[in-house]
Each structure stands twice: as structure tokens, then as C-alpha cells.
Amino acid sequence: MAEVRPDEVSAILRKQLSGFDSEIDIYDVGTVLQVGDGIARVYGLSKVMASELLEFPNDVMGMVLNLEEDSVGVVLFGESNLIKEGDTVKRTKRLASFPVGNKLLGRVVNPLGEPVDGKGSVQHEKYMPIERKALGVIARQPVKEPLQTGITAIDAMIPIGRGQRELIIGDRQTGKTAVAVDAIINQKYTHSKEAKAVGINPVFCVYVAIGQKDSTVAQVVSKLDEHGAMEYTTVVSAPASTPAPLQYIAPYAGATLGEYFRDNGQHSLVIYDDLSKQAVAYRELALLLKRPPGREAYPGDVFYLHSRLLERASKLSDELGGGSLTALPIIETQQGDVSAYIPTNVISITDGQIYLEPNLFNSGVRPAINVGISVSRVGGNAQIKAMKKVAGSLKLDLAQYRELAAFAKFGSDLDKSTQQTLAKGARLVELLKQGQYAPVPIEKQILSVFSGTQGFLESIPVKDVKRFEKELIEYLDLKTHEIFTEIREKKSLSDELTEKIKNSIGDFLTKFKRSE
Amino acid sequence: MSVYSVSSRFATALLQSASEKNISGAVSADVELISQTITASKELRNLLASPVLKESKKAEIIEEIFKSKVSADSLNFLKFVIRKNRENLLHEILKRFIELWNSKNNILSAKITSAYKLEESEKKHIAEVLEKYTGKKIQSVFNIDQKIIGGFVLKIGDTVIDGSVANQLLVLKKKLLEENLIVN
């Protein structure tokens, strides 16, 4: 057994204490007047700042939310039964803040930056306040680079750009989290050497879990780990069992970390899963702080709650390094009611939304995206030219299909052109189906969309479409790999290349074995 | 209305009317005395808080207690507060008055806690240093608390100047825990 020599111990102690000066400590204090339900009212603290952190006994921290005439309303980040009336509260003179730095990647932390994954203490570069003012007009530039989610339906029709805010909205069990997790997994490509060679910058991801089950968070983390996505991802977890104040600050903490990457000229993707639960947590706090309730009992500033968060998503100007923060907020609707208070608010704040529908989900269309009402208001610049070219008619074809499909249910005699539209639509819908955790690279997406919109699928039975797509991609990858390379490098389709693709697909079509 | 705003309003009114009559010094001494009496007597506090007693009875008792001790104006104020059914806030009102009076006259009240009884010269020295430091007159209250082990703790308003041994030990403990000191 190793021996511990007393002089060694004292040497270490002396070293540790060398910086310790026994100077007089000056601090401001207050007294707890009332405590309960995660809220404390404190008397004194006359110079305290809004959203300053306070130190209570038993290592409980609190954050100032209300500054009143004679008292201060404080939300507690710990157990309120550890605090008694009459306890002394110390000011920290520090605003609520979150540790940032590259070492946070791969970690699961709570909204205060404390690790919850059991991998030891978190190394951080510095602390940044969780509430920061969003950047102004001068500091920004229009969104111009695409953020590929790896989901064909989204990348083709509802493209998301770096620096955009795109809402993912839908009922429970419609695959909202799946879309977000797929988007994170697909960023793995951006960290590769090939991506660097064609000028695609890496995207760092932050997944903020608010008010979810601990088991769900653990599942997401293990899936990300399995696909090697934790290397560039931080999970900020405020599960349902944590006090409401922590759930309330979680998205701001996530945004702070995203901003760290953005301000360093890098790119980040922050997912807030989900903001309806955060609004509920905030409502709880507001009601306990006796702020007057408004519609659906939410306080008056619940719009500002989300707008100030989502405004922090931005694409920086080139002078500031050109970094970006893309936000994918998630909202859960009840029974498809998008006209409820929180969904309408967040819809109006974001640059577009992805609707997920239970009907589609149950009929096997997964991801269950309703492309008819999903939009992305950033538009063309978020897509590479090649994709823009092939996907142009996709949305229109699908819209026509949906319109006719509703009619076709009643009539039996349909003219030829109607039948054609229906057949094409059914194949396109089939083509856009995609498994979970299986993001598709953009060049492969382009090829499959191309085969669909150019009418190559007409002779393929609907049930064979998925197999056709898979085998086509495999075939092209083997035979004419240069097509993919060219799309990736040039990002556009020249007439020559289009011709080449057409020929290759034509070749494959003759070899494809239709099922009986 | 909150306790704070009600008591502020009464206190401000008292201070203003006393200043107009140029008797604010006398009134403040009275207020000090009444406040101390209330702090000292639990029975008096119970009386003021009791909803059972009639206001006339309360006024009688208050008059009986303070008649010979305070000026007529102060006594009138007490009766006025009782007539307005705010006697339960009387102590708050008096405290607010003292605060207002102190800030008007540039006085700060300081609470000095030490582990052992301080010498008069030490007390004087502390007061002098504080007056220099704050630029205001200091009204100090001294008390003794063995829990702070050594040194002293000074409280002016909400600010604490902590030079106690107990606090230094606490800071030391935190520092040692923070640095993840591992002896292997």
C-alpha cells in the first residue's frame, strides 16, 4: 500500500492555500421572509440586480426574478425545504450564467452547467450570462448556407439555412424529436475531411431537453452516442423532475453555448425540445410570483419569453466571422390545435414550420411531414443549386396529388391525366418515406428526387419504389461514382451532368427486377 | 396596499408635520422610545395586534402608558394611527420613521458583532473609521456572539463587512472543496 507522508500532505496543503488571503469579506445580505413552492421572498438586498444569482444556506442557489418595493422575488434552483424563514441570503454579484467551451461537447449537463452524466467535472473556458441581448441588424447577414438535415422531404421542399429558426410542430407521438435527432446525426458529415475539402464548415449541436422524462433523454443520448454524434453535441437536460426555474432557464443556457460557437466564427445547431413545456414551467413561476395571468393563464410576457430566445438565432456578418446559430424549436400541440396560444406565438416568431401529422404517421408516411402546410421562409439560399433544380416541381406535383387524391376517393372513372398525376404522386410520397436514424447525404437525395420528378418511377409499382431507390443509389455509387463527387463539389447540375444522370438511371431501369 | 407602502406613508406624514412644527428632534426621540418599548414588551405587541379590543380601549391604554413620557404631538399621532385602524402596523411605521429620519440627517446605523466584549477605545476607533469610510454619522449597536470565534462582523444597511474567523474558515473550506484537492 502506498504510504502518505505527512510532510507531503502539508506541502500540498501549503501549495493549495498559497493563494488564500485572509482579507475581510464584504457582501450584501437579505433575509428570507417567505419560502415555498420553489419561490422565496427576500427582504433587504437593496442593490440586487434582476436575474442575479443568490446564495442561500445549504448550497441552494436562486435567481432574482421580481424586484418589488420592499422585497425581492427569487426562484430557487434547489429544494425549497432546505430553506427556512429568517435565513440569510448572500448576493453573488453574478448574473445567472452558463459555462461554455469546446470541452462541453460530448457531455450531458444541467442548465447550470453541472454535469449529470457521471463523467466528472466539466472543463470550461469561461462563464457567459444565459440572458444575452440578441444581435442587431448590422451584425447580421442573410442566411446563405444550407443546413442539411439528411431528411429528403425537408432538404428538398422545406430547406433550412444556417442561422434560421425553423419550428417543428405536431401532436405527441408524431416523430418531432426523431426529426431533430436525425438532423444532429446528419451533422457528422460536416466534421469529416471530405466536407472540409468542399468548403462545408462543421456544425456543433446543442440538444436542450425540457420537461421530458429522464428515460427519453437517456435514450436520445445513447442514440447520439451510437451514431457517433455525441462528439460534437452537448445535451442540456432539465427533465420533468427538476424544479420549474431550471426548466425555464434551460433553453437560454443552450442558446448561450450555441452563441459561443457562433461568436467564434463556427456554426451551431440548437434544438429546444420542447418550448411548450418551458412555457408551462414559466407559467408556474409567474403564477407563484403573483404575476397576473392572461390567456390560458400564461403571463403577459410569454411571447417575449420565446421571441427573445429565438431572436438569438442568427447568421453573423463576415466582419464578425460569419458564424451562425440555427434554432430548431419544437412545440407539441394538443389534438392538432395550432391556434392555441403558445403554438401561434412561436409560429409567428420563427422563419417557417415543419408540421407533423398523426394521420400521416399512422398511415405509414414517416417522417410524417405535411408538406402542404410546412414552409421555410428563408427560401432559395438555403438550398444548393442542384437541389433547387430537381426539387422545383416536387412540391407542385405533391400538391396536385393531394388535391386529386381527395376527389378520387369518390369517383371511379378517371381520365388519363388524372390517373397519371395520382400515380406519380403516390410514388413521390413513397419516395420521401425514410427510416429513423438514417439521414441521406444531399447528393443521394438529389438523385432520388431526380428519378421521381423526371418520371422514371412511372413503370415501377408503388411497393417497389423504396427498393428501387435503394438499389439505384447503390448502382450509381458503384458504376458512376463521379456523379456524386461532381454534385458535391460543384453543387449544381450542368446540362451535361443531367444527361449523364438520365442515361445512368435509364440503364438501371432496364436491369431493375420488379417484384411479382 | 402592502405593509411597506402603508407604513411609509404614515411615517412620511409624521416626519413632515414634525418638521413643519420644528419639533422633529423631539418627535424622533419619542419614536425611538416607543419603538423600544414595543420591542421590549410582548404584551404591548399583543395588544396592538388584537382584533378583539375596541379602538377606544386601545387608545386609552396607549395614552395611559405614554402620557407622561412623550410629547402631545407624538401621542396624537399614536391615537391617529389607532383611529385609522392601523395600529397593527405601528411598529413598522415607527421603524420606517427612524429610517427616514436617519437618512435625512445623514446617519447610518451599524451593527457590530464581536466574539468578546470590546473596549470603549476600540468601539470609538471603529466608529471613527466607519465615519471616515462612509462619510456619514454612525450610530452603532454592539453585540456579542461567540459563534463568530474571533474578529468582528459589521452590518451597515444590507452590506456586511465580515472579518470574522468563522467566515474565513468557511471561505477556506469552500476553496479546498473547489480545488478538488486529492491527496494520493
Provide the pLDDT confidence category of residue B183 given band limits of 50, 70 and 90. very low
Subunit contact B172:A17, Cβ cutoff 8 A: yes
Q: Is B177 in CB contact (< 8 Å) with chain A?
A: no
Q: Is A9 in CB contact (< 8 Å) with chain B?
A: yes
Query: What phi and psi values does residue A332 have, to the nearest 5 degrees?
Result: -100, 125
Residue A15: the pLDDT is 73
Higher pLDDT, A4 or B171: B171
- B177, exposed or middle or buried, with CB in 10 Å at 0-12, 13-18, 19+? exposed
The C-alpha atoms of residue A478 and residue A474 are separated, in whole angstroms, by 6
Subunit contact B176:A16, Cβ cutoff 8 A: yes
Beta-strand ranges (E) seen in A199-274 are: 203-210, 233-238, 267-273
Mutation choice for A interface testing from B160, B162, B183 by most A CBs within 10 A: B160
Subunit contact A24:B171, Cβ cutoff 8 A: no
Subunit contact A29:B161, Cβ cutoff 8 A: no
The distance of B79 to chain A (nearest Cα, Å) reads: 26
Subunit contact A12:B158, Cβ cutoff 8 A: no
Subunit contact A26:B157, Cβ cutoff 8 A: no
Each domain of chain B, given as residue ranges in start order, spans: 3-103, 107-178
The distance of A230 to chain B (nearest Cα, Å) reads: 27
pLDDT tens figures, A424-434: 999 999 999 99
CB atoms within 10 A of CB A14: 9
Provide the pLDDT confidence category of residue B182 given band limits of 50, 70 and 90. very low
CB B146 within 8 A of CB B164: no
Q: Given A12, A29, A121, which is nearest B160 (Cβ)? A: A29
The distance of A487 to chain B (nearest Cα, Å) reads: 53
Q: Is A21 in CB contact (< 8 Å) with chain B?
A: no
Residue B168: the pLDDT is 86
Q: Is B25 in CB contact (< 8 Å) with chain A?
A: no
Mutation choice for B interface testing from A7, A25, A59 by most B CBs within 10 A: A25
The C-alpha atoms of residue A273 and residue A251 are separated, in whole angstroms, by 9
Helix (H, G, I), strand (E, B) or coil at B128: helix
Topology annotation, domain B107-178: Glutaredoxin (3.40.30)
Please work out, in degrees rounded to the nearest 5, the angle formed at the alpha carbon of residue B128 by the alpha carbons of B124 and B134.
140
Higher pLDDT, B170 or A265: A265
Cβ neighbours for A276, distance < 8 A, ≥ 6 positions apart:
A331, A332, A342, A343
pLDDT tens figures, B24-72: 889 999 999 999 999 999 999 998 888 898 889 999 999 899 888 889 8
Provide the pLDDT confidence category of residue B184 given band limits of 50, 70 and 90. very low
Subunit contact B183:A69, Cβ cutoff 8 A: no
B184 interaction partners in chain A (CB closer than 8 Å): 2, 4
The C-alpha atoms of residue A254 and residue A272 are separated, in whole angstroms, by 8
Query: What phi and psi values does residue A60 have, to the nearest 5 degrees?
Result: -85, 135
Query: What phi and psi values does residue A343 have, to the nearest 5 degrees?
Result: -55, -45
Residue A405: the pLDDT is 86
Q: Report pTM.
A: 0.87
Provide the pLDDT confidence category of residue B118 given band limits of 50, 70 and 90. confident
A4 interaction partners in chain B (CB closer than 8 Å): 183-184
Burial state string for A125-142 with b = 16 or more CB within 10 A and e = fewer than 16? eebbebbbebbeeeebbe
**A62 - beta bridge partners?**
A54, A76
CB atoms within 10 A of CB A487: 24
Subunit contact A22:B168, Cβ cutoff 8 A: yes
Cβ neighbours for A217, distance < 8 A, ≥ 6 positions apart:
A108, A209, A235, A237, A239
Q: At what angle do helices A275-288 and A341-349 cross, to 10 degrees?
A: 120
B5 interaction partners in chain A (CB closer than 8 Å): 69-70
Residue B3: the pLDDT is 78
C-alpha closest to that of A277 among A216, A232, A221? A216
CB atoms within 10 A of CB A483: 19
C-alpha closest to that of A144 among A128, A117, A164? A164
Query: Please, what are the averages of pLDDT over each run of 10 residues along chain A (516 residues)?
Result: 73 72 82 92 91 92 91 92 93 93 95 91 91 94 94 95 96 95 96 92 97 95 96 96 94 97 96 96 94 95 96 96 96 95 96 95 93 86 90 90 83 82 92 94 94 91 92 92 91 92 92 83
Q: How far is CA A274 from CA A13, A162, A337, A442, B46, in A?
A: 47, 20, 16, 27, 53
Q: By CA distance, what is A42's nearest residue in B?
A: B158
Q: Is B169 in CB contact (< 8 Å) with chain A?
A: no
CB A30 within 8 A of CB A52: no
Residue A21: the pLDDT is 65
Subunit contact A25:B167, Cβ cutoff 8 A: yes
A123 interaction partners in chain B (CB closer than 8 Å): none
The distance of B181 to chain A (nearest Cα, Å) reads: 8
Cβ neighbours for B119, distance < 8 A, ≥ 6 positions apart:
none
Mean pLDDT of B157-166: 88
Subunit contact B155:A29, Cβ cutoff 8 A: yes
CB B135 within 8 A of CB B124: no
Subunit contact B4:A70, Cβ cutoff 8 A: yes
The C-alpha atoms of residue A387 and residue A396 are separated, in whole angstroms, by 15
pLDDT tens figures, A17-44: 776 666 788 899 999 999 988 899 999 8
Q: Given B4, B158, B181, which is nearest A69 (Cβ)? A: B4
Q: Is A415 in CB contact (< 8 Å) with chain B?
A: no
Topology annotation, domain B3-103: Peroxidase; domain 1 (1.10.520)
The C-alpha atoms of residue B184 and residue B170 are separated, in whole angstroms, by 24
The C-alpha atoms of residue A105 and residue A235 are separated, in whole angstroms, by 8
Residue B181: the pLDDT is 43
The C-alpha atoms of residue B36 and residue A282 are separated, in whole angstroms, by 44
The C-alpha atoms of residue B14 and residue B11 are separated, in whole angstroms, by 5
Q: Is B176 in CB contact (< 8 Å) with chain A?
A: yes
B171 interaction partners in chain A (CB closer than 8 Å): 20, 25
The C-alpha atoms of residue A325 and residue B131 are separated, in whole angstroms, by 53
Mutation choice for A interface testing from B2, B147, B158 by most A CBs within 10 A: B158
Q: Is A121 in CB contact (< 8 Å) with chain B?
A: yes
Residue A22: the pLDDT is 64
Q: Given B168, B172, B183, which is nearest A4 (Cβ)? A: B183
Question: Interface pTM (ipTM) of the complex?
Answer: 0.77
Q: Is A304 in CB contact (< 8 Å) with chain B?
A: no
Residue A19: the pLDDT is 64
Subunit contact B162:A27, Cβ cutoff 8 A: yes
Give me the active site residues of A, please.
Answer: 377
